[in-house]
Homo-oligomer: A and B are copies of this chain.
Amino acid sequence: MREKITRQAILQVSEEIVNQEGYESLTLAKLAKVLKIKTPSLYNHISNLNDLRNELAVHALKQLSHQIMMSAVGKAGDVALKSIGLADIHFMSENPGLYDAMLRAPDPQNEEIEKISSEIISMLLRVLEPYHLSEEHAIHIIRGLRALSHGFNTLERRGGFNMNVPLEDSISVAFDTFIKGMITTLKK
């Protein structure tokens, strides 16, 4: 019996490669080598490299979405918001390659990607409900939170800052600051 090479197995190996060696290091040659087949044989399972990259992005988004949901279960308000933000950052810390795959999907308008993204957004909208923001304002806030997460991801990757001031703390303070700003604006 041959070794079963499934779509799942391919994604699995791809995930390991990007997380361990970086997004750029995911080549069909390397992938084939790990799977112990010749490069062109991969085309029986994927349609091309970009296709694989998109699937990897979906794969990543699914995991991230799951982790985010988990982190918010049983929490509300500020606490839930901050939890979600930290979960996002934590995910990228543990899965740098996957996070990259998400941000660098060749086709970000891909149907499946959009679907999961909007799931995440509607969950965030629910968390924001107690604040009674206008729908438009809520969207602004959600985008701000996402921007903070993605931005810290970028900063972390580039590294090289003053380590007397740990990045962890900055992340925590930044979320607190943003959330406080949101609440203060409401009370006016």
Contact = CB atoms under 8 A, between A and B. Distances in A.
A103 B104 CA distance: 13
Report the contact-size class of chain A (Cβ under 8 Å from the partner): 35 or more
Interface in A142-183: 143-144, 146-152, 154-155, 157-162, 164-165, 167, 169-170, 173-174, 176-182
A144 B145 CA distance: 11
Grouping DSSP codes into helix (H, G, I), strand (E, B) and loop, the A interface class, with mixed when no group exceeds half, is helix
A94 to B, nearest CB: 19
Given A170-B140, A182-B177, A159 B103 contact: no
A139 interface: yes
A3 interface: no
Contacts of A162: 139
A180 B170 contact: no
A129 interface: no
Contacts of A141: 173-174, 177
Interface of A: 103, 105, 108-109, 114, 136-137, 139-141, 143-144, 146-152, 154-155, 157-162, 164-165, 167, 169-170, 173-174, 176-182, 184-185
Contacts of A178: 144, 174, 177-178, 181
Nearest to A165: B139
B165 A136 contact: yes
A180 to B, nearest CB: 4
A12 to B, nearest CB: 25
Contacts of A109: 159-160
Name the 9 nearest CB pairs between A and B, nearest first: A181-B181, A147-B151, A151-B151, A144-B174, A177-B181, A140-B173, A150-B151, A180-B181, A143-B170
